[in-house]
Amino acid sequence: MPGPAAVKIELSEAQKTILEQMVRQRRRGQGLVRRAQLILEAAAGETNAGLGRKYGHHRDVVHKWRQRWAEAEDALAAVEAAEDKDQPLEAAIEQLLSDARRSGRPDTFSAEQVVQIVAISCEEPTASGLPITRWTAKDIAQEAIRRGIVERISPQSVERFLK
């Protein structure tokens, strides 16, 4: 049983050129390259199911990216027409094809706290009044708490920072 009709995608020459460049660049992320390939082939008339088989995605994933491109066509056309140096077309396309920010647990420790904890490990333990010659992760964790850098921290977190 066939799914819903695929959303038609039309690319301007500039959009097509940028997508082709993205596909050829080695420094691009694999997800971005695959999505650029997917949009190029969708514009060429490939079906969602065919693209899904080719790239190992469910056709709903292909449909989602096709839909996302179609919804942004007017905005991309406006960026292309404006020829804005601050927001070039390539940046707009890259942003469109990038992963959306995902929710998740916020960082427990700020970058500044991590730097301060690593700095402790660079000091001599005797400078902190400890009767030891080398730091352990547990000692660093206790010192970070004593100095008020963090309220609490595990030795495992300290080890992770020092790797």
The domain boundary, picked from 73, 97, 121, lies at 97
Q: CA–CA separation, 15 vs 120, rounded Å?
A: 51
Q: Read off the pTM.
A: 0.60
Band (pLDDT 50/70/90 cuts) for residue 150 is: very high
Residue 23, in any domain of the structure: yes
pLDDT > 90 fraction of the chain, expressed in percent and rounded: 52
pLDDT surpasses 60 at 94: yes
Same domain, 90 and 64: yes
Distance from CA of residue 51 to its chain's centroid? 23
Helical ranges in the chain per DSSP H: 13-24, 30-43, 48-55, 59-82, 89-97, 111-122, 137-146, 155-162
Tell me how many domains the chain contains.
2
Q: Which of 93, 90, 142 is nearest to 117 (CA)?
A: 142
Q: CA–CA separation, 163 vs 160, rounded Å?
A: 5
Mean pLDDT computed over every residue of the chain = 89
Same domain, 26 and 92: yes
Same domain, 118 and 88: no
Same domain, 92 and 147: no
The domain boundary, picked from 97, 129, 152, lies at 97
Same domain, 116 and 67: no
pLDDT surpasses 80 at 87: no
